Amino acid sequence: MSRVIEIYDTTLRDGTQGQDFNLTSEDKVAIAKRLDAFGMDYIEGGWPGSNPKDARFFELMQSVPLQRAQLAAFGSTRRKDVGCQDDTGSQMLLAAQTPVVTIFGKSWTLHVTEALGATLEQNLAMIRDSVAYFKAHGKLVIYDAEHFFDGYRADAEYALASLEAAVGGGAARLVLCDTNGGSLPEFVAARVREVVGRWPVPVGIHAHNDCELAVANSLAAVQAGATHVQGTINGYGERCGNANLVSILANLVIKLGYPQPQAIAQLRELSRLVDERANLNPNIRAAYVGDAAFAHKGGVHVSAVNKNPHTYEHIPPEVVGNQRRVLLSDLSGRANVLAKAAQYGEAVHDASVAQVVARLKELEHRGYAFEGAEASYQLMSKKVRGEYQPYFVLRGYHVNIDKRDSDQLPLCQATIKVEVDGQLEHTAATGDGPVNALDRALAKALTRFYPSLAELQLTDYKVRVLSGPETGTASLVRVLVEMRDGRERWGTVGASSNIIDASYEALIDAIEYKLLKDRVPPKGAAPQQVAASSTAG
């Protein structure tokens, strides 16, 4: 392929219309800078005048130099009864001071007569006049033909006439929008091919994902001659979302061979940055960039991937900035354990591999889950192999919940006794809940001996009730804990019929893993093979 496809990012406008996806003006500026560095051609910042946040964003962006991307302001055609010079929306688009203005107009007769309350001729004039007005003010005008595919089905002649009006006004791009997201790739490709053959203006595609076909429709449009693609990072957007630019770019470069200038090796990083700014958990099953995209769990799969990754991976994960992951569960076999040992840089013997596999399956049967708790797995593996060195000995703990007034929150206090190198430490702490109190008491007791534990932060805590012989409040529970220390994050697991005990197991593993990875020597402890009484024992 010799041509390059223009990539138009609308995460900052269309993406923010998605449920639970919210950005501050400062978030939008930070993402815009990263999109520019990544190599986007256009960044649509928002709709000036629609809200204070977008107004603030365009004001901030006037002092932000972009190296590659052009900033676009988005808005509608003028109102039916006023000229552009007197139309408030048009004037706010000019006030945004962007080099690109993207305006949308109606292609579907239903929307013209019912949504706008205009005549068909009035709508065509609104499109033509608006495009011409912004072009006369020196703007590169991108015309988004809203509901083009639905409009074509209802009245093909009028849908094409709306494009003719945009061309007549001087539009630099004609973007065909599948606004309701209900079109199929063959129909999209046929319509794009028709429009490409009719006017010399570059044609684009703007697809929504209501049938989970936004990426497929975008690629079909490109193969039919479209040279401009609009979408959002991670596919965020109204209803079911927009076309996902992460997947589109990976497919354009890797599958279709387009020489795109965007840095696709940074796709995962970009995907995570947007999630982080929006305070959303990343989709682990996202194509190309999700944690599960190159994760292998079944023993047969892992064995084959260890020999040749191409057996179960369609591309090397590093191409898009991802990495291979070997998951651990009751489906694991020798290959999973060997792969994990190699990842940790550990040497394991054949006899111990079988023991680790057996112990892993036993613990999973008892309610533990190591897929999100690989720190617990590493500790368990060391215990089975006789390489575990305890950092302290528990001499007991007590958790008390005291509620004296129905209008007040209960007071939670934990006391704990631990022995480190022959010294007994007995401390207490309060917390927002029993687990928080226990976490604080542990930290208070152990930080004197191991100062690096002061870096620990509990970032996530999840409890799942597991089905079993007991029901209701006596059921088995699994606790997953996530910790971080400013450099990395790790997960641990505990399981018990007592939620406090399960939480304690997960907290202890998190603490010991921190010390293990920091290569902190245990105080006064000798290597030992631990009995199967704790999380990973």
Q: How far apart are CA 76 and CA 370, in angstroms?
A: 52
Q: Answer yes or no: is 1 within a domain.
A: no
Residues 312 and 225 in one domain: no
Q: Answer yes or no: is 237 within a domain.
A: yes
Give me the CATH number covering residue 312.
4.10.430.20
Class of residue 502 by CB neighbours under 10 A (exposed 0-12, middle 13-18, buried 19+): buried
| Residue where one domain finishes, among candidates 221, 246, 277 | 277
Which of 291, 279, 287 lies closest to 327, judged by CA?
291
Q: Answer yes or no: is 470 within a domain.
A: no
Is residue 349 within 8 Å of residue 315, measured between CB atoms? no
Please state the three-class secondary structure of 204-246 as a single string. EEEEECCCCCHHHHHHHHHHCCCCEEEEEHHHCCCCCCECEHH
Angle (CA) 411 412 417, round 5°: 145
Residues 31 and 138 in one domain: yes
pLDDT score at 126: 97
- Orientation of helix 334-344 relative to helix 374-384, angle to 10°: 100
pLDDT score at 467: 63
Residues 222 and 250 in one domain: yes
Range of the domain at 307: 295-358
Give me the CATH number covering residue 120.
3.20.20.70
Q: Answer yes or no: is 377 within a domain.
A: no
Q: Answer yes or no: is 390 within a domain.
A: no
Residues sharing a CB contact under 8 Å with residue 136, sequence separation 6 or more, in sequence order? none
Q: How far apart are CA 432 and CA 444, in angstroms?
A: 16
Q: Find the radius of gyration of the CA atoms of the chain.
A: 29
Element (H, E) at 285: none
Provide the 3-class DSSP secondary structure of residue 119: coil
pLDDT score at 386: 84
pLDDT score at 280: 87
Q: Answer yes or no: is 341 within a domain.
A: yes
Q: What are the φ/ψ torsions at residue 230 (nearest 5 degrees)?
A: -110, 150
Question: Which mean pLDDT values do the consecutive 10-residue runs of the chain (537 residues) have?
Answer: 89 95 94 97 94 92 95 96 95 96 97 94 97 98 98 98 98 98 98 98 98 98 98 97 98 97 95 90 93 82 82 93 75 67 69 79 82 83 85 90 78 91 91 87 91 89 73 71 88 90 91 89 58 43
Question: How many angstroms separate the Cα of 37 from the Cα of each of 34, 40, 251?
Answer: 5, 8, 20
| Residue where one domain finishes, among candidates 330, 358, 386 | 358
pLDDT score at 369: 80
| Residue where one domain finishes, among candidates 358, 392, 412 | 358
pLDDT score at 370: 81
Is residue 314 within 8 Å of residue 324, measured between CB atoms? no
Domain count, the chain: 2
Residues 123 and 36 in one domain: yes
- Orientation of helix 25-38 relative to helix 52-61, angle to 10°: 50
